[in-house]
Amino acid sequence: MTNYCLTCHSGPAASAGLNLDNYTGVRTIGETGRLVSRTNDSQSPMPPSGLMSEENRQKIQDWVNGGYQE
Ligand code: HEC
């Protein structure tokens, strides 16, 4: 998150009003399914510059599947 997301998704002017600089923010969007869907969406990826490595995307998926361990 820090390396790939916070440039846009942090602070009071976070893109899409989505603040990913804290556990609750990431968990909340994780629970909607959009965290996993957008990080794997080749048409409209997050980060917008292009999909992250398979390994990084798998880490997010595993964290969601594992019950959002803090
Ligand atoms: C260059 C800026 C930028 C970066 C970097 C970025 N985002 Fe985004 N993100 C946006 C913008 C702008 C939107 C709103 C427009 C859209 O949905 O495409 C958005 C929307 C989203 C949404 C949809 C929110 C919703 O409510 O549906 C998710 C989920 C998301 N980003 C996750 C991420 C994640 C996770 C990362 C890091 C892996 C990331 N973003 C990196 C700019 C960025």
| CA distance linking residue 51 with residue 27, whole number of Å | 20
**What are the residue boundaries of the structural domains of the chain, listed by start?**
15-65
Q: Which atom of ligand 1 is nearest to the CA of 26?
A: 35
- Nearest Cα to Cα of residue 22 among 13, 9, 4: 9
Whether residue 66 is predicted with pLDDT greater than 90 in this model: the reply is yes
- Segment 17-35 shows an average pLDDT of 97
For a mutational test of ligand 1's pocket, the pick from 2, 7, 9, 52, i.e. the residue with the most ligand atoms closer than 8 A to its C-beta, is 9
- Nearest Cα to Cα of residue 7 among 22, 17, 21: 21
For a mutational test of ligand 1's pocket, the pick from 2, 3, 15, i.e. the residue with the most ligand atoms closer than 8 A to its C-beta, is 15
Q: How confident is the model at residue 12 (pLDDT cuts 50, 70, 90)?
A: very high
| CA distance linking residue 29 with residue 59, whole number of Å | 16
Ligand 1, atom 20: closest residue by C-alpha: 16
DSSP letters spanning 8-33: TSSSTT-GGG---SSHHHHHHHHHHT
Q: pLDDT, tens digit, for every residue of 34-60?
A: 999 999 999 999 999 999 999 999 999
